């Protein structure tokens, strides 16, 4: 067993919250929230979101279905019915991912308290085609999906 999961979600959320200081013409610094996955930077009046709430994190690659040499591999059957492994991709038609499922590349993700979280560094490059599980999603489609997530975030005022 992995032990209790209570008690860590708040500090985890705090660690994933990245604040960037922007300087405006007036010279007044302002703190803005940015998402580590899609890099959405909330403009004034928009709430923004953290990496934990990013729509692109909802359909991650299933840890039960990666190769057993993968650092995030979990043995046994995955019991989640909403997991990406049970989905069919609308782009390529294959089972096991959706059109926006991100692959668990260890250069972008790490384990924290048994949970997959994005590596908290702005040096991790923005999401491109290779980050998606679907072999048919290229850099252009990746850019489009990131833009769609930003549009969605902007509409949530």
Binding site for Zn ion (CB under 5 A): 35, 37-38, 40, 54, 62, 78, 83, 85, 89, 91-92, 134
Q: Report the chain's terminal Cα–Cα distance, integer Å.
A: 41
Nearest distance, CB of residue 83 and Zn ion, angstroms: 3
Q: Is 48 left (phi over 0), alpha (psi -120 to 50) or beta?
A: left
Nearest distance, CB of residue 9 and Zn ion, angstroms: 18
| DSSP output for 59-84 | TPPPTTSS-TTSTT---S----TTSG
Which CB sits closer to Zn ion, 27 or 45? 45
Which CB sits closer to Zn ion, 22 or 147? 147
Nearest distance, CB of residue 133 and Zn ion, angstroms: 7
């Amino acid at each position: 067993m992995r032990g209790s999961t209570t008690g860590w979600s708040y500090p985890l959320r705090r660690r994933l919250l990245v604040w960037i200081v922007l300087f405006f013409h007036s010279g007044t610094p302002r703190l803005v929230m940015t998402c580590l996955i899609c890099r959405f930077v909330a403009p004034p009046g928009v709430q923004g979101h953290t990496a934990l709430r990013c729509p692109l994190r909802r359909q991650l690659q299933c840890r039960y279905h990666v190769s057993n040499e993968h650092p995030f591999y979990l043995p046994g059957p995955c019991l989640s019915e909403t997991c990406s492994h049970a989905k069919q991709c609308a782009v390529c038609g294959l089972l096991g991912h959706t059109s926006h499922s991100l692959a668990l590349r260890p250069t972008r993700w790490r384990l924290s308290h048994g949970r997959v979280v994005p590596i908290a560094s702005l040096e991790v490059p923005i999401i491109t085609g290779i980050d998606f599980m679907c072999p048919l999603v290229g850099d252009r489609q990746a850019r489009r999906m990131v833009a769609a997530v930003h549009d969605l975030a902007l509409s949530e005022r």
